[in-house]
Amino acid sequence: MLGKRLREIIGKITKKPYIDEGDVKVMIKEIQKALIAADVDVRLVLDLSKRIEKRALGEQMRALTLKQHVFQIVYEELVKLMGEGYSPRLERHKVLLCGLYGSGKTTTAGKLAHFFKKNGLKPALVAADFDRPAAIEQLRQLATQINCAFYSAASLEEVLEKVKEAREDVVIIDSAGRNALDERLLEELRSIYSKVAPEEVFLVVSGDMGQSAGKQARAISEVVPISAVIVTKMDSSAKGGAALSAVSAANAKIAFIGMGEKIEDLRLYDPKKFVGRLLGIPDIEGLLAKAKEAGLEEVAEEELTAETLLKQLKAAKKMGPLKNILSMMGAVDLPKELVVQGEEKLKGIEAIIQSMTKEERRDVSLLKRQPSRIRRIAKGSGRSEKEVREFIAQFEKMEKLMKRFKKDRGMKRKLEEMFKRWQG
């Protein structure tokens, strides 16, 4: 599934202590592959990868926050790919549903009735399938289950009568489907539309259709002005993301998504929530905001010492449990023990730094080859000497990476200056 692939790709980046241009490029290639494998239109994928590359590498790179920065960009671009959100019409109105057989139209009619009822409006379901008694019966049963009004009609004229008679707030018409978008279906839609004058026309498509959902939205909208698309079977289709992106590329809005067979399995469409779930982090926005609030970014700008590391740890703690931070960084499918271990490790590092003198915090190398200092810190922090030595080794690794990164940045700046001089 697309979500799993994306989570793995971002997880890979997260595991690295430090990422560079090459890592970003590899990540983009992998995102491309994942989206194309999920049937997203190649042109959309190429546009998206160009934008991610331009933003991730164009905006200034910072060692400690680059991962978060790249993550935020990937998230934002995926959200853009998946279209806009939708506000439901919570007032008296008529809804016409159209779509092919098996797209989930009748089920969705029931789900919508349930949705409006929950929102304090009285719904009515109207069966406008004149050929298939079974389809009428299916809608009648849904109406009984939801406990809402139900009308069936044997002809278009009768549908009109029923719709006029109906005293309910939201009248939902389940039009007849077809196996294909043939002339007869389009003609029928055209005449229902012009006679009933519904305020909302929803096209129902199945997520299984993948990118061809976009073509269908375009074709139908030439016959009747659709107000939005409802994409069903998002719970079970591997091509759901492709359907959503294609529909929004066809300039159609997505109103709801179907997430199962039951009447309550309908969700108002929110691309941010959709991408959040795809990446395994329901509240990405909240977490990114928290990171800013906690001052993680500013701290990360300072030079790396044990002192600034301590500040970072404290800032990170403000963001909530480690599990959230790790999942924000994309490391989602982590086993619980690892998270608990990680939490314990961070506490250890904090205790160790707190037992260091000011001098040592500024210059961790003072601890090397000084067993007496290590012993003192171990005692003070209640950690073993081995742990203190591990901390020193880890810290040195981080320092090296930071230095390498700074050098790269210095090189980049020098090159840029050279270019400018040549051009000037």
By CB under 5 A, name the binding residues for Mg ion: 105-106, 135
Backbone angles phi, psi at 152, to 5 degrees: -125, 155
Tell me how far, at minimum, the Cβ of 137 lies from ligand GDP, in Å: 11
Asked if residues 44 and 81 have their Cβ atoms less than 8 Å apart, the reply is yes
Q: Judged by CB, which is closer to ligand GDP: 236, or 308? A: 236
260 binds, options ligand GDP, Mg ion, none, Cβ within 5 to 8 A by partner type: ligand GDP
Closest C-alpha among 58, 56, 31 to residue 46: 31
For residue 267, give the 3-state DSSP assignment.
strand
235 binds, options Mg ion, ligand GDP, none, Cβ within 5 to 8 A by partner type: ligand GDP
Tell me how far, at minimum, the Cβ of 100 lies from ligand GDP, in Å: 7
123 binds, options Mg ion, ligand GDP, none, Cβ within 5 to 8 A by partner type: none
Tell me how far, at minimum, the Cβ of 131 lies from ligand GDP, in Å: 12
Q: Judged by CB, which is closer to ligand GDP: 112, or 322? A: 112
Tell me how far, at minimum, the Cβ of 135 lies from Mg ion, in Å: 5
Closest C-alpha among 83, 92, 128 to residue 256: 83
Tell me how far, at minimum, the Cβ of 99 lies from Mg ion, in Å: 9
Q: Judged by CB, which is closer to ligand GDP: 232, or 381? A: 232
Rounded to a whole number of angstroms, the CA Rg of the chain reads: 29
Q: Judged by CB, which is closer to Mg ion: 67, or 105? A: 105
Distance CA 219, CA 222 (A): 5
Asked if residues 195 and 224 have their Cβ atoms less than 8 Å apart, the reply is no
Q: Are strands 254-258 and 266-268 parallel, antiparallel or unpaired?
A: antiparallel
* Minimal CB distance residue for Mg ion: 106
* Minimal CB distance residue for ligand GDP: 258
Furthest CA-CA distance within the chain: 95
Q: Judged by CB, which is closer to ligand GDP: 20, or 265? A: 265
Q: Judged by CB, which is closer to Mg ion: 38, or 135? A: 135
Distance CA 17, CA 15 (A): 6
Tell me how far, at minimum, the Cβ of 194 lies from ligand GDP, in Å: 23
Q: Judged by CB, which is closer to ligand GDP: 260, or 286? A: 260
Q: Quote the crossing angle between the two packed helices 42-58 and 21-37, to the nearest 10°.
A: 160
303 binds, options ligand GDP, Mg ion, none, Cβ within 5 to 8 A by partner type: none
241 binds, options Mg ion, ligand GDP, none, Cβ within 5 to 8 A by partner type: none
Distance CA 155, CA 60 (A): 65
Interacting residues toward ligand GDP by CB under 6 A: 99, 101-107, 177, 232-233, 235-236, 258-261, 265
Asked if residues 257 and 232 have their Cβ atoms less than 8 Å apart, the reply is yes
Asked if residues 155 and 141 have their Cβ atoms less than 8 Å apart, the reply is no
261 binds, options ligand GDP, Mg ion, none, Cβ within 5 to 8 A by partner type: ligand GDP
Tell me how far, at minimum, the Cβ of 261 lies from Mg ion, in Å: 13
Distance CA 31, CA 288 (A): 21
Q: Judged by CB, which is closer to ligand GDP: 71, or 274? A: 274
Provide, for the chain, the percentages of residues in helix, strand and coil under a 3-state DSSP scheme, each rounded to the nearest 5.
60, 10, 30
Tell me how far, at minimum, the Cβ of 104 lies from ligand GDP, in Å: 3
Distance CA 225, CA 189 (A): 11
